[in-house]
Amino acid sequence: MNYGIYVPNFGEAISAQSLADLAAEAESVGWNGFFIWDHILYSKSKRLPMVDPWVALAAMAMKTEHIRIGTTVTPLARRRPWKLARETVTLDHLSRGRLTLTVGLGAPPDAEFSHFGEESDPRIRAAKLDEGLEILVGLWSGKAFSFQGEQFNIEKTVFRPPAFQSPRIPIWVGGFWLNKAPFRRAARWDGAFPLKSGSKITGKDLREIRAYIEQHRESTGHFDMVMMGYTPGDDPEKASKIIRPYVASGLTWWLESLFRGKNDYSDMVSRIRRGPTSGV
Count CA atoms closer than 13 A to 166's CA, side-chain side: 2
Say yes or no to pLDDT of 223 above 70.
yes
Q: Angle, to 10 degrees, between the axis of helix 53-63 and the axis of helix 81-94?
A: 10
Mean pLDDT of the chain, nearest integer: 96
d(CA 70, CA 91): 10
d(CA 44, CA 176): 22
Q: How far is CA 246 from CA 26, 203, 239, 249, in A?
A: 22, 5, 12, 5
Say yes or no to pLDDT of 3 above 70.
yes
Q: Are 154 and 135 in contact (CB under 8 A)?
A: yes
If you ran DSSP here, which 8-state letter would residue 10 be given?
B
- What confidence tens digit (pLDDT) does each residue in 14-35 have? 999 999 999 999 999 999 999 9
- What confidence tens digit (pLDDT) does each residue in 117-126 have? 999 999 999 9
Specify the DSSP element, H or E, that contains 148. Answer: strand 145-148
Cross-strand bridge partners of residue 256: 5, 229
* Average pLDDT, integer, range 139-143: 99
The full set of domain ranges for the chain reads 2-273
End-to-end Cα separation, the chain, in angstroms? 8
- What confidence tens digit (pLDDT) does each residue in 178-209 have? 999 999 999 999 999 999 988 899 999 999 99
Specify the DSSP element, H or E, that contains 154. Answer: strand 153-157
Q: Which residue type, as a one-letter code, is found at position 268?
A: M
d(CA 3, CA 203): 17
Confidence bin at 278 (pLDDT 50/70/90): confident
- What confidence tens digit (pLDDT) does each residue in 142-183 have? 999 999 999 999 999 999 999 999 999 999 999 999 999 999
Q: Are 169 and 163 in contact (CB under 8 A)?
A: yes
Q: Kindly report the CA angle at 260 between 258 and 265, in degrees rounded to 5?
A: 65
Q: pLDDT at position 66, please?
A: 98
- State the architecture of 2-273 in CATH terms: Alpha-Beta Barrel (3.20)
Q: Which residues contact 143 (CB under 8 A, 6 or more apart)?
A: 158, 162
